[in-house]
Amino acid sequence: MNNDEKYNTVISSMREFTYKWQPENYEDPSKPILKITKSSLGSFDWCPKKYEFSYRQRLPQDQTEAMLKGTILHNHREDFFNIFDLKKAEKMNNSEVLEYCTSLMPVDDYYDISLTVASLEAQRYIEARTENKIDEFLPVCNEGKFDAEITIPANINPKFPLQRDYVIHIQGIIDRIFKENGGLVPFEYKTGGWKDWKKTSMRKEMAFYELLLLNAPDEVMIKNGLDPNDKVTHWGWYYPAANYIYAEPRKTRSMTSVMNNIAKLIHHYERNTFPAKFFYKTCAHCSFFGICDEAQEDTWV
């Protein structure tokens, strides 16, 4: 049995999972458990009503220019690491490395951002070669998909106590995972603009990824090219449009925050209440503004 078959066997042995979860059916093993992704949890944290529209009701959303841009640039970066030839680059001088990295970027409407990425990767490669760490240049996992089941204790979030412990399914695609000094470093790639206040949300996203890696079955880790015994030591994110890259040691408090947010989400499911968070600067750009009663009421106050 190959790694793909082992992975699929592991996933099929898990309980079915869904966003349209019914807590009252939890005791029935034939009923699906709650599915949570980084995006769905982030949407809930942003606005529970938007979460309900997007994930529970599965209402369609228009594809925005930002969404299209994000998809295209994520594909470019994934392809870059898939085709980068370490042996070929080893014989190049510094200028040739930059030219090589640039040549791997498609010429399209986002070429200016791709050039920034090429410059960064050329610099990273040159530094890795200088420090005899070329083996750390390429990610050990490039766009890896992970699944896991975790238990959320009933009293983990005192502000939002639950009726019982719950096993839930978490799932996600991690942009890149590098390995440095024996530790794993998940790295998120963002195609929007950078603001300092985003650090809090980015830490929550990275903590969710660590939660995935901590709980993924061995077969899932191996399928993604990882040693199940390896642990996350750092995490980071890259915003090329702002030429901003950041890495830091993992934060235990961010892990706690994610677990608390998951408990809060379950708490809302138990009560079947997903109230809106109205803030005019963000709600005005929400796809569901026109059908959100709370937003419409607050607009006219």
pLDDT tens string 172-196: 999 999 999 999 999 999 999 999 9
* Closest residue by Cα to residue 150 from 168, 131, 137: 168
pTM confidence score: 0.92
Q: What is the pLDDT of residues 242-259, one digit of tens each?
A: 999 999 999 999 999 999
> Could you give the CA distance from residue 206 to residue 254 in angstroms, rounded to a whole number?
8
Break the chain into its structural domains and give their ranges: 3-63+139-271, 85-136
Can you give the pLDDT at residue 279?
A: 67
Place of tokens 């408090």: 253
Can you give the pLDDT at residue 289?
A: 67
- pLDDT at residue 43 tops 80: yes
- Assign 298 a pLDDT band (cuts: 50, 70, 90): low
Q: Mean pLDDT over all residues of the chain? A: 92
- pLDDT at residue 65 tops 60: yes
Instruction: Report the pLDDT averaged over residues 9-14.
Output: 82
CATH number of the domain at 3-63+139-271, please?
3.90.320
Can you give the pLDDT at residue 301?
A: 46
- Assign 280 a pLDDT band (cuts: 50, 70, 90): low
> Could you give the CA distance from residue 127 to residue 115 in angstroms, rounded to a whole number?
18
